[in-house]
Structures are given as structure tokens and as C-alpha cells.
Structure 1
Amino acid sequence: MENAKPGFERALKRRAEKISSEKSRLVAAASKVQRWVQELRRNEREEFINEERSFSSHLESEIQSDSGSANSAEFDPLTSGESEQLNPQISSENSFDNIESHHSSSTSGGYSHLPESQFSGINMPDQSFKKDGSNGNMDEAGIFHDEDDKVKYLLESLRKWGSSGVPMRKIDELLFYLKPLYPILPSSYKTLFNTPKSIPIKSIGNGKLWYRGIRESLNKILTWKYLHSHQEIIIDINIDGLPLHTSSRTEFWPILGCLAGKYQVPFPITVFCGKGKPENLNMFLNDFVKEAGELMEGGYEYDGRIFPFRIRHYILDAPARAFVKQCKGHTGYAACEKCTVIGEWVEDRVTYAELNCPLRTDESFQRRDQLEHHLHAPGADIDDHDNGEWRTPLEQIGTGMVSQFRLDSFHLVYGGVFKRLVGAWILWPGPWKLNRNAFSEISDKLVSIKSCFPCEFNRPPRNLQEWKLYKGTEWRRLLCYDGMLVFKHRAFNVNIYKQFLLLHCAIFILASPYHVQQNENIEKAEELLEAFIKHCASTYGKRFISYNVHSLKHLGNECREHGALEEFSTFKFENKLKSLKESLRSGHKPLQQLAFRELQRDDRKKILSEPQNDVKLIHKLKNPFEDVPGIQYKKLKYHRITYNTKRKYDSCCRTKSGDIIIIKNIVHSQEGKVILVGNKFLWQDDFYHYPLNSSKLGILKVNRLDGRTLHFDFNDVQSKCVLLPDDDDGFLCIPLLHSF
């Protein structure tokens, strides 16, 4: 026993040392968090003071302008506060017949990401100065005035840190060690995040359902600023399956909502968890349909005021649409949701080669004019219009079962038709199949241009051998941008390349917010898509004309009524599904985990108004040879577009006059304007001529960079461009269509 006692004491000592070490580590982490908070506060202070200084300078300019001579030689709308258009009004003469080529003095290939409004401010984070020596809750040294301020911002920082995927146990440990220093801190993460004690979960059929609600979600994210600018609440709905594990059939089936707008973030309305999809559609949709009907009838109340509420689009993939609408799936004979085509069985699959069948309407769907399109109970008489059919609960709230359901480009075009086309080139035997040399050289070309893509692309090119693992954004990038370059290969069949260009040109038009505003352009895209479908049928046979390929026929009408493809795609909903899955810590009670994580999130700061027209200038630069007086910068950020003068492939832009320019410097002039300094390409030409001249889409081959320096206002920029090196020392220049 005496020998055991020293060993026991040594164990206790080691345990105490370990606890002390862990405590020191956590205290150091807390200090780091506090320093981060102080730095964040200083940055916020600088941005606020910069905005105040900008406003003051504009106000002083107005006063000087008013007190000056009425016969002023020049009027500067940027400094005077008058409205200035950053990009031209869309011309009514911008159809394919009227779009002028690159050498014209008029605007061509308009892909402007600049809104038609004046600057609301120029934020320069690197330019700091003091104002009245005050800094809110901190003094000039960045130190809080009292302990309450420290605790307030420490709590805020802990919530942000805890919402980034940190295990709750670690948060409890940190709170335990910080408690002696800040007794007012909570003892548990549950108090820190205001986590409810229980989650209302009910059993339905083959799983469980958590219903959060539309009102509850909107209450958390809506602000007066958004409501004042929109005056109504319009949301899009997405429903999709999300497998949780590769070795289990457990799935999430969430109903996601998203406020209408380009930069909005989806939110969960209800989530089902079970083995496969919900067996009982009525129970799955019942709560959603009931609340949506109440909101559409009575409106949404916010701070005593009633705002109109409506659902704009249901954006789902094909299997989910068939499930929710209770109609035949994409392998059925009467599967098309937009027309009454009857499929044909060809080589072990149903194909839809007929392209001119009568269109469906909401009324024909409700009347069940084509009974073969709808699901029926087993043993029901298919000729009976009233008995046997399974009706979806969505019809109870007047949902347009044809007009409100969109054809999603994510699954239909990029991950559907285009993936099928590339798969046919690689796997299907025939004269179109890529030989080993062509496959290898295309892969090498993709890898070689990996570093040439702008920062807006989250997924740069990778080897073609991994094509089965490509994501939707990679298929979109390959179809709209680098595909026309890498497939233009001597070993690639010329006719197959032209077939690819038919699809590329049509989708490039429909994905452009500029081109889809003109019906002539949409008609051209429809013509190209119909030619693509017929060319594929003659090349690969009718077996290629699957549900997705046939649905291309209806894509033009979708864009004619609802705008560019990105206006009703599932890209942002797929991103939200990914975040839902990543919020799980284990496989134990996944629905409860997801519900708690969602209730702990602070989504209010993600909304939810359209971004301001602020130009942010970042990282000061000193070039003693610059002729324009002012402060020089390396980077310029505008919305989600970034120009970086230190990286050639992030500094290419197109001006309203049609020049392609590499930006070398960014100057904030003494007059308050943003001046860009760069060199333009002297030679431009079409990159392809079939099925139309590429310059009509703004796609050019450029060369010979001019050595003379060019100065131009940022207001003259039309769009950022993707610049890819070609084999003959030139470059392929493509207007940037999407903000990734």
C-alpha cells in the first residue's frame, strides 16, 4: 500500500498539470478572442468614420457648388450628390441583328454588373483617420470603457465562434474557465445561445417531422429596411432529399424557403427525417399548406403593419417535382410537365423525340385532361376523372401546378444534359468517342488553365478523368466558359464540337440577364436548342433524347416569363442543404441536432436587403510614376466582383466602348472619382463563327497589349472578363456572367 501511494499521488499530480495546461490554453484562446473583438471594433470604427467623412465631403461640395458661380464650367454629379448612371440603359435595339461588333463605337455584348444608380459611398478600409477622438464604447487605444462592454462583446464573439462548427462541449469548457474572470457569463452553451429545452417533433408515417414555420423564420430574418424597400414578401420554395450517410437509408427532406432576390439566403421551414422520402405526402405538407394559405389570405404582420405575402416559384428537381405534384416521374410515358408528349420505348429507356405537342396549363392539370400524366390509386379506373387520382395538398391553396413549377438549370442543363453529352463522348461507342490522345490532351489543357480563372470561381478546372465527380458549378463553368477552348482540339470531331457550340450559345444567352430581356434573343436560343436536340437524335439515336434533353425545348419560355436561368436555379438551395448536413455532429438523433443548430444560428445579419452600391478600395499602393494625383490601391470590390491589379486574370475588364483592358492601377482621385489605369488589347476577333459570331455574345479572341497607358473612370466599366490563354499566344476573353 505504501508503494501504491506515491504512484497515486503522481497520477493526481499529472492530472492537475493536465488540467492546468488545458486551462492556460483556453484562457489564451479567450484572450485571442478578445483581441479579435477589439480589432473588429477598430475596423468598424474606421469604416464608420470613412462613411462620415465621405458624406461630409459630399455635403461640403454641395455647399461650395451652391455658393459658387452659376456659370460653373463643369458639373461633377459624383461629388455633388446628383444621380449618376453607372451603366447604360438597356437599349431596345439589342437583338442579335442589332448587336454591333467589337469595333463599333456603341455598346456591345452588354454584361454589366454595375447597377443603374449612383455610388452610395466609397469605403476605403486602409484609409484611417480620427474624428472627435471618440470611438463608441472604446477609447482611441481600442480599450473598452467598462466591464459591461467587455462582457457584451465577449458574448457576441463567443456566439459567432460557437456558430462556426465548434463542439458544444468545448464551448462549455471555455465558459467554465472564463467564469472566474467574468462571473456574469453563462455556465452553459444552452444559455449562451438561448437554446430551447425541447423541440416540437412529431411522428408521421415512416419518420419524424420538425416544423419551424414560415412566420417563425421570417420573424428572425426580416428587417424594416427590407420591408420598406419591397413592400411585400415574396418567397421561393425548394423541396429535396438529402441522404445523411452512405451506409444508411436515413434522409432529410427539408422544405426550404428563400426571399426573392439574388443575394438572399435560404431558411428551413420544415424538415422530415426518415428511411427514404415521406410515405404520406398529406402529412408532410399539411402544416406548410395551412400556414401558407393563412399568410396568402391575411398577409404577414410585422410591427403592427400587414404586408402581402405570396409564393413565387417552386424550384425542385424532377423526382421531387413528380413526388410533390403526384404525377408521373421522369421515366414515365407522359412525364413531361410542360407538354403532353407521349414517350417511346427505345433501347431499354423512354425517349421523347416529339417536340411540337400541345402545352399543359394550370387548368388542364386541374381538370386531369391527360390522365396518364397523373398518379392513381391501385385498382382505380383511369377513365374516371373524379375517382382514384391522388391530388397534392398544394392544390388547396391555389398553386399553379404548371406555371409555378420551374425547370431548374442546375439539374436539367448542367448536371443533366451536358453531363449526359460528355458521358456519351467518353463512354458510348461511335465516331464521336474521344480517343486516348484527345482525352489526355483535353485533361492536360484543363489542368494548365486552372490558375487562370478569376477569384469568383470557387471550383477551378480539374482533370477530365474525374468527370463523374464534377459538381454543378463545374459543369456550368465548363459549358459557359472554358469548354469552347478545351474542346477546340484537332483530335476532337469537328461536327461534335459544333454540336457543343449549339448548346453553349443557347445556354449562354439564357444565362445572361442582359440577353433574356429581348424576346428576339430568346427566340434565337430556342432555335439553337431545337437544332441541338435534333442533331443529337441523328448522331446518337433516339436513346439520347431523355426527359432532360426534351425539356430543353421548354427552357426558353421559362426564361421569357421569369428571367435568366440563375433567377430560378437551385444553386443556393443546394448550398443550404450542404450546411444542414454539416451541422450534424453524429448520427444520434439527427433531426433534433439540426433543429437545435438552426435555432442557435443568428441569420439576421445575413439579410437581407440588396447590397449597397459601395465601391471598396483595399490595400494601398505607391507608384511614384503615376500621373493621376490621388490615393492608389491594389484591389477594388463592388458587390461580389473583385478587381486585383496584382493578378492579371483578376484585372481584365470590358468597357462600354468595347475595349478589353488589363487594369494596372486603381486611383481614388482628389475629385472623389475612382480612376482605373491600364492597357488595352489592340487586336480583337471572333473566337468562333458557328452557329453565330461569338462577338455577338461578347466573346472575343484578343492579342497585342498596347504599351500606352489608358485612364478611364470606373463608371465606364461594363463587366469583368475571364481571360484564358490560347495556344497561339492570344487570349480568349469571356464576359463574366455569374457571381460565384
Structure 2
Amino acid sequence: MANTSNMPSYWTLRRKAKERVDRNLALVSSDNITVPSLAEAVSPSIAEYNEDIFMECQPEDEELRCEDSDHVSDVFFDACKSFVSDDDLETSDDEDCDHLRRSLANWAGEHQIPHAALNDLLKLLTPYHSSLPRDSRTLLGTVRSVDVSEKAGGQYHYFGVLNAIKPVLNANKAQLRQHMCLNLQTNIDGLPLFKSSTTQLWPILGRVQNFQGDPVLGLFCGTTKPKSIHEFLEDFVNEIKQLEGGFDFEGLSLTLKLSSMVCDAPACAFIKNIKGHTGYFGCGKCTQEGVYTENRVCYPDIHAPLRTDEDFEQMIDEEHHLGPSPLQQTSLGMVSGFPLDYMHLICLGVMRKLFMLWLRGPLTCRLSSQNITKGFCRM
């Protein structure tokens, strides 16, 4: 590939061409030939002026004058063409700069480039492209203020499902034709922000199945959990209902389905608006009544009748429901769409209980020190 680092720029070539034109015009003027200015030459017809000016050569000077005139004519005509296309060049430059800005912004979003790295890249590019911004927030169009509303007893901001998943879809355009129906998994849970305060955060997180990325769909902050599940999920449910009817993205007609809500037991009961997991009718998968034993409610019957999405929609088991859930307005299965929480049920539930029995339980089930090997400890 040819080395272009030492090649003169467009503006350098243009300046040198203009200097040559001025020198030749001065030479022609010194011989008492009337030559219009560049501004005059650019107007109506360059060809006319070209003919009038350079056909005035006297016969006795024909050899000298015609040779110079031909040279001046060529340079002058080329220079005039350059001046005529100034507006076109500026328009083309503006379009190129806009295209570069959009391309950089899309690239940064698709590859999740940190703002610090993007700022360093802009510092390298701005000396050569002065129209580029110096800050990544300007390039990406980051909003300076966020619209926060008072809702459900706290402060709430809704980012929007479609706005949040657009970067994910842009990064996976090649696969979209194979997934015209998008399955959205969501997670809602509360987490404390500070040990010395009751302030807690309740984010609504999303994930499009088969694609990478976990965008934030909504964010609630308050001293308690949202006081009303209907207010908390109002914006989310309304948009989900619209997207389930179909939407256009980059020329593709896509649909979105809320396939599952992945939550722990307390959050699941809150979202479904049902009895908690410690209640007598709190099991979300079967209809049996709990039994209170040893300071806790247990569900001993492993063959109890199972709940179904249809039974939940009709709210047949009145002891199980506290009221309707806003998610019933969507296509989400209110029983099948809430998978069991593996971490709390198995890892922190069953396994922890077994370890307590093996190590500190009654002698009938406690392991001896000889049986507690290194392999057992690594479990």
C-alpha cells in the first residue's frame, strides 16, 4: 500500500494552484491584457471569459503569448472549477463529519466502550477532524438531566423497554432475522444502598434471550419497597402490551414476549400480589395448605395438586391471592412464567440445612471427624 503520510493535503494543493493562477494573471496583466477577476470569471460562463481573454494575443507575439495563454487558461479554468464547487465541497464535508459521528457513536454503543476510553479516542481524532466533539457525552447524546417522578412512595425513573434493548439489538443485527419474536426475561428485586440507612433500590432488569446484555428498564428508590405494585409496574406493563403487538426496528417487523420473571420468593410474592412464602397458602406451585411446625410453615405433601396459569387468572384459590397483579394484563404465565429460585432454594436452602445437620445436628445424623475430609470441605 502506498505511503500517504507525506502527501500534501487538499487545501495545500488548492493554495498552490491559486498562487500559480495569481502569478500568471499578473504576467498577463503586465502585457496590457484585460483579465477579469476570479469573482467575475466564476459567474455565468467560464468558457466565454476564457475565449475573450485568450483570443486577444497579437500576431507578432503569437509564439510567446499563445504558449503562456494556454498554460494560464488551463490553470485558470481548473481553479475556477474548484471555486465553483466550494458549496458542494462544504456540504460533502458536513455529511462526512455527520456520518463519522454517527458511526463512532454506534460503534461505542455496540461494543460498550467506556467513556474514559472514548474520551481518549476523541482526543486523538479531533486534531484531524475538528468537527468531532471533545467529550464522549456529547458524541453519544447523553442527557444532562433525568426525569424523576414521585411514584409508589419513592422516586422513580422509567428508561423504557425498547430504548433499553436498542443497543442489544444493534449489536446483534445479523441474528435478528432468526429471532423475529424476542423473548424478554426480567428481574425485580430490592437491595439496600447503605448500612446506616433504610434507603433501598428496586431496579427492573431485562435480558433478551439468545443475546448478550442486561439493560436497566426502570429504577425505583425509596425508604421502603414500592407501596403499590400497580403504580410501580404501570409504565412497564403498558409498554409491554404495545410491544407484544409488534414494532419496527431497522426495517424488520419484530414482536416481543415477556417470557419469565426471575425473582426470589419475597419479590415474587410482591409482584404476583399473593401471600408470602411463609403463609399457609403461600406456595406458588401447588394448592396445599401449609403446616406450622417447629416455628415455621412447611408443605409436607409432595403430591399436592398443582396450580395452573388459568386458575391464577380466574383467582380460584382466594386464600392465595391478595388482589390482581398488573402482570396479568400481559402474556406472561403467572405460574409457569415464574421459575423457582435455585440460589435460595437449593444453594442457600437445602444444602445449608444439610450441612447444619451433618456438622451440628443430632448425633444420629452428625458426621464424625474422620468422615469430614478435605473433599467434603471443598463442597
SS at match of 1:418: helix
Work out whether 1:307 is the aligned partner of 2:249. Answer: no
Partner of 2:51: none
Query: How far off is 1:181 after superposition?
Result: 8.8
Query: How far off is 1:355 after superposition?
Result: 1.1
Partner of 1:233: 182
Within-5 A mapping of 1:367-386: 367-375=314-322
Partner of 1:327: 274
Q: Return the alpha-carbon distance in structure 1 between the equivalents of residues 196 and 125 of structure 2.
A: 41
SS at match of 1:350: strand
Partner of 2:231: 283
1:404-441 Cα offsets, whole Å, 9 max, x none, are 221132332233322332233234343333455655x4
Q: Return the alpha-carbon distance in structure 2 between the equivalents of residues 418 and 222 of structure 1.
A: 39
2:216 maps to which of 249, 268, 271: 268
Within-5 A mapping of 1:583-598: none
Partner of 1:431: 364
Query: How far off is 1:367 after superposition?
Result: 2.6
Within-5 A mapping of 1:611-630: none
Query: How far off is 1:179 after superposition?
Result: 7.1
In structure 2, do the counterparts of structure 1 residues 178 and 366 end up closer, same or farther at CA, with 3 Å as the change threshold? Answer: closer
1:258-300 Cα offsets, whole Å, 9 max, x none, are 1122x53222111111223211111110001101111113x02
1:406 maps to which of 339, 363, 366: 339
Q: Return the alpha-carbon distance in structure 1 between the equivalents of residues 213 and 130 of structure 2.
A: 37
1:367-425 Cα offsets, whole Å, 9 max, x none, are 322222122xxxxxxxxxxxxxx211111234321122211323322333223322332
In structure 2, do the counterparts of structure 1 residues 350 and 166 end up closer, same or farther at CA, with 3 Å as the change threshold? Answer: farther
> Is the Cα contact below 8 Å between 1:240 and 1:320 reproduced in 2?
yes
Could you list the runs of 5+ residues in structure 2 that have no partner in the other structure?
Answer: 10-95
Q: Return the alpha-carbon distance in structure 1 between the equivalents of residues 337 and 197 of structure 2.
A: 34
RMSD between aligned residues: 3.8
Q: Return the alpha-carbon distance in structure 1 between the equivalents of residues 215 and 203 of structure 2.
A: 10
> Is the Cα contact below 8 Å between 1:236 and 1:258 reproduced in 2?
yes
Q: Return the alpha-carbon distance in structure 1 between the equivalents of residues 152 and 277 of structure 2.
A: 25
Partner of 2:355: 422
SS at match of 1:374: coil
1:496-544 Cα offsets, whole Å, 9 max, x none, are xxxxxxxxxxxxxxxxxxxxxxxxxxxxxxxxxxxxxxxxxxxxxxxxx
Query: How far off is 1:165 after superposition?
Result: 8.1
Which is greater in Rg? 2
Q: Return the alpha-carbon distance in structure 2 between the equivalents of residues 240 and 419 of structure 1.
A: 22
In structure 2, do the counterparts of structure 1 residues 291 and 190 end up closer, same or farther at CA, with 3 Å as the change threshold? Answer: same
In structure 2, do the counterparts of structure 1 residues 204 and 431 end up closer, same or farther at CA, with 3 Å as the change threshold? Answer: same
In structure 2, do the counterparts of structure 1 residues 167 and 260 end up closer, same or farther at CA, with 3 Å as the change threshold? Answer: closer
Q: Return the alpha-carbon distance in structure 1 between the equivalents of residues 168 and 331 of structure 2.
A: 27
SS at match of 1:287: helix
Between 1 and 2, higher relative CO (CA 8 Å, sep ≥ 6) is seen in 1
Q: Return the alpha-carbon distance in structure 2 between the equivalents of residues 165 and 409 of structure 1.
A: 36
Work out whether 1:209 is the aligned partner of 2:156. Answer: yes
> Is the Cα contact below 8 Å between 1:159 and 1:192 reproduced in 2?
no
Q: Return the alpha-carbon distance in structure 2 between the equivalents of residues 307 and 258 of structure 1.
A: 16
Amino acid across the alignment from 1:214 = V
Query: How far off is 1:240 after superposition?
Result: 1.5
2:191 maps to which of 242, 258, 282: 242
> Is the Cα contact below 8 Å between 2:259 and 2:332 reproduced in 1?
no
In structure 2, do the counterparts of structure 1 residues 337 and 418 end up closer, same or farther at CA, with 3 Å as the change threshold? Answer: same
In structure 2, do the counterparts of structure 1 residues 252 and 182 end up closer, same or farther at CA, with 3 Å as the change threshold? Answer: same
In structure 2, do the counterparts of structure 1 residues 401 and 166 end up closer, same or farther at CA, with 3 Å as the change threshold? Answer: same
SS at match of 1:332: coil
Amino acid across the alignment from 1:362 = D
1:220 maps to which of 160, 167, 176: 167
SS at match of 1:277: coil
Within-5 A mapping of 1:380-529: 390-435=323-368, 438-439=371-372, 441-442=373-374, 445=375, 464=377, 483=379
Partner of 2:287: 340
> Is the Cα contact below 8 Å between 2:244 and 2:257 reproduced in 1?
yes
Q: Return the alpha-carbon distance in structure 1 between the equivalents of residues 331 and 158 of structure 2.
A: 22
1:211-263 Cα offsets, whole Å, 9 max, x none, are 111111232221432221122222112212222223322222111221122x5
Q: Return the alpha-carbon distance in structure 2 between the equivalents of residues 246 and 166 of structure 1.
A: 30
SS at match of 1:391: coil
Query: How far off is 1:182 after superposition?
Result: 7.5
Within-5 A mapping of 1:513-662: none
SS at match of 1:371: coil
Amino acid across the alignment from 2:208 = L
Amino acid across the alignment from 2:195 = T
SS at match of 2:339: strand
1:454-474 Cα offsets, whole Å, 9 max, x none, are xxxxxxxxxx5xxxxxxxxxx
Q: Return the alpha-carbon distance in structure 2 between the equivalents of residues 140 and 371 of structure 1.
A: 79
Q: TM-score, normalised by structure 1?
A: 0.34
Partner of 2:202: 253
SS at match of 1:230: coil
Amino acid across the alignment from 2:235 = D
In structure 2, do the counterparts of structure 1 residues 351 and 244 end up closer, same or farther at CA, with 3 Å as the change threshold? Answer: same
1:339-386 Cα offsets, whole Å, 9 max, x none, are 1111111111111111111111122222322222122xxxxxxxxxxx
Partner of 1:581: none
Q: Return the alpha-carbon distance in structure 2 between the equivalents of residues 330 and 423 of structure 1.
A: 22
> Is the Cα contact below 8 Å between 2:180 and 2:253 reproduced in 1?
no
> Is the Cα contact below 8 Å between 1:251 and 1:274 reproduced in 2?
yes
Q: Return the alpha-carbon distance in structure 2 between the equivalents of residues 165 and 373 of structure 1.
A: 48
Could you list the runs of 5+ residues in structure 1 that have no partner in the other structure?
Answer: 1-132, 376-389, 447-463, 465-481, 484-740
Q: Return the alpha-carbon distance in structure 1 between the equivalents of residues 185 and 220 of structure 2.
A: 19
Partner of 2:305: 358
Q: Return the alpha-carbon distance in structure 2 between the equivalents of residues 428 and 368 of structure 1.
A: 42
SS at match of 1:229: coil
Query: How far off is 1:163 after superposition?
Result: 5.0
SS at match of 2:187: strand
SS at match of 2:262: strand
> Is the Cα contact below 8 Å between 2:262 and 2:338 reproduced in 1?
yes
In structure 2, do the counterparts of structure 1 residues 260 and 176 end up closer, same or farther at CA, with 3 Å as the change threshold? Answer: closer
